Amino acid sequence: MKNGKAVVLVVEDSTIIRMGAVDLVLAAGYEALEACDADEAIYILESRDDIDLVFTDVQMPGTMDGIKLSHYIRDRWPPVKLIVASGVAILEESSLPVGSRFFSKPYDDHTIIDAMAHLLSSESRSVPTG
């Protein structure tokens, strides 16, 4: 958290969708960061220690998709909360890291805000490993 505000990193290759997601994060009262792919997201995560939640798309160009990114984040930064969204893939949450949430696009803004609030309110709880 930075200045009492949770920090959310939005990872989305579509500029229009990313802008909408950033607006959603800001409207929910959080600080928003943005990345256009997994490589940029990892660079941002490596350069900052205040990111509380990553909200990522599944299908993106680059070295990994959102599912691989979410597992990489869970392994490397276990406290970071994860929300994964896709307009094409329908995933079972069991294919995602423990504690992450999946939403199909188009998603309802209020549902995403509620999910962010729920995940961030459990920030003091540790994430189970294994």
**pLDDT tens for residues 15-60?**
999 999 999 999 999 999 999 999 999 999 999 999 999 999 999 9
Hey, where are the domains in the chain?
A: 7-121
Cα dihedral 34, 35, 38, 42 sign: negative
Contact between residue 11 and residue 60 where contact means Cβ atoms under 8 Å apart: yes
What CATH number does the domain located at 7-121 have? 3.40.50.2300
pLDDT of 127 above 70: no
pLDDT in tens, 77-102: 999 999 999 887 666 666 889 889 99
Burial class of residue 30 (count of CB atoms within 10 Å of its CB; 0-12, 13-18, 19+)? buried
pTM of the predicted protein model: 0.89
